Amino acid sequence: MQTSLRCSLPTSLAYRACARLASRDQAPAAFAAAGRVVAMAIAMAMGGCAALPGQVERPVSYSRSDVADTQLAKIAAASTADDQRGLSGFQLLPDGAQAFDARIALIRRAEKTLDVQYYLIASDGTGLEFLRELQRAAARGVRVRILVDDLYATGQDELFAGLAAHDNVEVRMFNPLPVRRGGFAERIVLSLHQFTRINHRMHNKLFIADGTFAVTGGRNIADEYFDRSGDANFIDMDVLSMGPVVKELAAVFDRFWNSDVVYPVRSLVRGEPSAQAFERQVANVPAAAPAASASLSLDAELSRGRLELERGTAEVFADAPQKAEGDTVAATVAQAHLALLDSAQTEVLLASPYFVPGAPAMQALSAMRGRDVSISVLTNSLATTDEPLVHFGYARHRAALLNAGVDLHELMPTGATAGETTTSLGGSGRGASLGRLHTKLTVIDEEKTFLGSMNMDARSARLNTEAAIVIHSAPLARLVAKFVRDRQQEGSYEVRLQGNRLAWLSGEGAEQRTRSAEPQPAATPALPVRVLAQLLGEGML
């Protein structure tokens, strides 16, 4: 599985397949891509009869409320003063290793229920260790419900069905493709007769332990989201939550879990699932090394029986599962985000790895600038993005954004630019590994924080399901603002207009450097990718 296919959703898969060929093979790929399109047409005819099962049992279940006697509930109570009972508590998880440790610590302490919802759970070391810990929790008697988007679950039917064969575990796949065999490209091609199904995905990320603690944010479950990938890691952010907001998050999980868009994995596989097959896959996976600051880890805090948290109120926004079926009647997370932007009085800090502002977003940003609200955006540069096709869509808007008075910052590749020194703030914190922005957050007036799975692009707005939490806490907002500003100031290019041309500035004072050419990745995207970006509408990026 390619990293570039993990973090943003596929657009037109035929176009994206051609783009990937072009970026890998340079000029010859244009001819290969043409042949691929012909092959796709043939494959569509071959796969046209594939269909999902018609009669599927989806036993209804809901989040458990009988959790007050659990260890985690007692720790939450001990961490909450009497005058804070009506507030939720929050702790940021910006470090990848600590964010993974937090999930494992919660799994190991869970006593009654674990609810897990992700766009991607990879079959790499991180994914397999995560699933192994969930199975061990189930063996202790914990009810485990796992909901995974099906798109990148290629080759995982045996893994997930084997896990679901264990007692106390149920696995459901969101909007599954009708074709189960073959590799990623083959499944896509043979399922093109149901293109709408392919093109609508569940992008949510949610983890809930004993109905007491929840982890939400931008991370999927794979090596590169937790600083465990050698070549490239994602800069991301999760937030640990407890208190009243967890009940709202649990209701979102239940809404998806009990929807008609999901299928129990057992209904999708032939034959009897094998628990032994699962155990063989996870048996020899090594445990992750502990986080460097183990004394500051959630595991250590839980062992002490009390957590240090920022307090505030929160609202949860989530798209309806039926959005995957083309239902756009219900309010969306994108609409809630625009309303939040409209509430800004002085300042907006925005981080989005895939930033392609459509007409509504451009209008909102222009209106804010008209009220003298400062706006600063952090996104990937062409040199750090894993989706160059999307980056070229963003590039169309740079001049208009700058002319409107929006500050633009593009992440700098660590150590990739001659004469420039970058800190780990511009990378993943793991030496020479390339850092790629994956954080999706907005800070309003250093008082409110929007954090979740939503990219600021048309795909998140119209096609895939998203979820987000809006936290009303000035201390937490200031911490998140610092997270963004540190990366802007020390690990990013500031993009400016010099005359009619763009320039990329880095450094300060006498050490400031100006580039007139866009920073390029090690492998420059081929011309066909740039052409596709011009031809495709933004809703297809």
pLDDT tens digits for range 392-440: 899 999 999 999 999 999 999 975 443 343 433 434 444 456 899 999 9
Residue-wise pLDDT for 102-124, tens only, equals 999 999 999 999 999 999 999 99
How is residue 109 written in tokens?
């302490």
What pLDDT is stored for residue 414 in this prediction? 77
Answer whether residue 243 shows pLDDT above 90. yes
Q: Are 385 and 353 in contact (CB under 8 A)?
A: yes
Q: What is the pTM of this model?
A: 0.89
With cut-offs at 50, 70 and 90, classify the pLDDT of residue 389.
confident
- Helix 28-47 to helix 527-535 angle (10° resolution) is 50
Instruction: Supply the pLDDT for residue 38.
Output: 45
For residues 209 and 109, is the Cβ–Cβ distance under 8 A? yes
Say what percent of the chain tops pLDDT 70: 82
Instruction: Please check the confidence at residue 10 and state whether its pLDDT lies above 60.
Output: no
Residue 33 has pLDDT above 70, yes or no: no
pLDDT of residue 2: 37
pLDDT 10s digits, 146-177: 999 999 999 999 999 999 999 999 999 999 99
Which residues are catalytically annotated? 203, 205, 210, 438, 440, 445
As to burial, measured by CB atoms within 10 angstroms (0-12 exposed, 13-18 middle, 19+ buried), residue 512 is: exposed
**If we measure between CA atoms, which residue out of 138, 106, 100, 114 comes closest to residue 279?**
138
Separation CA 511–CA 508 (nearest Å): 5
pLDDT at residue 499 is higher than 60: yes
> Which residues have a Cβ under 8 Å from the Cβ of 418 and sit 6 or more positions away?
none
Average pLDDT over residues 289-308: 83
Strands 501-506 and 492-498: antiparallel
Using 50, 70 and 90 to split pLDDT, how confident is the model at 193?
Answer: confident
